[in-house]
Amino acid sequence: MRWYLHVDMDAFFASVEQVLDPALKGKPVIVGGGNGRGVVTSASYAARKYGVHSAMPGFQAKKLCPHGIFLPNRHRIYSKFSNKIFAILEQYSPEVHALSIDEGVVELTGTERLFGPPLKNANEILARVEKELGLSASGGLSTSRVVAKIAATLAKPHGFIYVPPGTEQVFLSPLPVEAIPGVGPKTHQELLQLGIKTIADLLKHPDLRRRHLDLDEPGQEGRSHDHSIGNETTLDKPLKEMEKMEEVLWGLVEEVGARLRQEGSYARCITVKIRYANFKTITRSRTLSTPTRFDREIFEVARELLKKNLTPGGSVRLLGVSASSLLSSGWQESMFEVRKRLSWEKLYQGIDRLRRKYGEEAIGVATPRTRTR
């Protein structure tokens, strides 16, 4: 039996700001969007009471919460707090998978002899994060990754839900189908048209269940994973120069690549998200012939998608990169591709090892440039 603790920080950026300035506690703190042109990246729960939420245009947030305290994004500081959080998680298991800067999965399988029962460990981990860093986290514990994720989401804010083995379907059945990670508005509408409103309805359709609800059943190693790994950033100032956009894109790609390797996954699909100053947003994807988890290969695809889909003269306000159609194994490769992959693996193992030991800025890789003749 395997055990997974899903940890999801509550209003992470806003909470970090409140830790750094205790006078902000209990107040409507809104990170990002303060100049009226950007978007909100985090909102405290006091601000959410007014309808403010992440990805909302700043001008709309100001209308809903005119007395809100708007603060600029400080990604370096948030990253330092994130590193401290994951350092605590890694004390309890060698298998810690970062899903984003403020969300991760701790596999507690086989740790009982060192730390005791998984339920005890889960509560201890969440308590330590709060005690040592002053940050609130929500958690979900289950023998299934996806159930742990759903439990953590339902537990928000500042809660914890334990789903005992054998009760997964009882826990899931009454929930709306959109509670499943990866079921977005489009998929939700498609399922509604089939008369599927709850997870109980979905469980009656084996084909749809296999597609949308992977309960980590035994013997499924090597299959594809439904979730994606992504990273995006709202720029302090709109960009028009391709060279500067490439620098931002490379930073996003480095984090996506690192998380793919940490999870042990390869991506078959790369997606780029572009949002302009007028809030027009486009996403473009490319399916790869051979899956990858290497920064340079991801960057080449992402850069090409960016260049092909930029509006001439447009001011870019947000850039994002995501990797999906994830695989752990099971695709065909030529001998040349195998040798190439093993070479990249060796290189990035070294890079990742140095960064874990000495920090993210310990080693840098030059951004690939387009050659001109």
Catalytic residue list: 103
CA pair distance 106, 260, nearest whole angstrom: 16
**Alpha helices (H) along the chain:** 12-20, 45-48, 58-64, 75-89, 112-115, 118-133, 145-155, 168-172, 185-193, 199-203, 206-212, 242-263, 295-309, 335-358
CA pair distance 133, 100, nearest whole angstrom: 18
Determine contact, residues 107/148, Cβ cutoff 8 Å: no
Q: How far is CA 260 from the centre of its chain?
A: 11
Which one, of 289, 286, 294, 288, lies nearest residue 340 by Cα? Answer: 294
CA pair distance 60, 224, nearest whole angstrom: 39
Provide the angle, in degrees to the nearest 10, between the axes of the packed helices 242-263 and 295-309: 140
Neighbours of 168 (CB within 10 A): 19
Residue 229 phi/psi, 5-degree rounding, is -120, 120
Determine contact, residues 191/183, Cβ cutoff 8 Å: yes
Please tell me whether residue 137 adopts helix, strand or coil conformation.
strand
CA pair distance 303, 293, nearest whole angstrom: 16
Provide the angle, in degrees to the nearest 10, between the axes of the packed helices 335-358 and 242-263: 90
Structure tokens at 72: 């600029």
Beta-bridge partner residues of 230: 322
CA pair distance 307, 189, nearest whole angstrom: 32
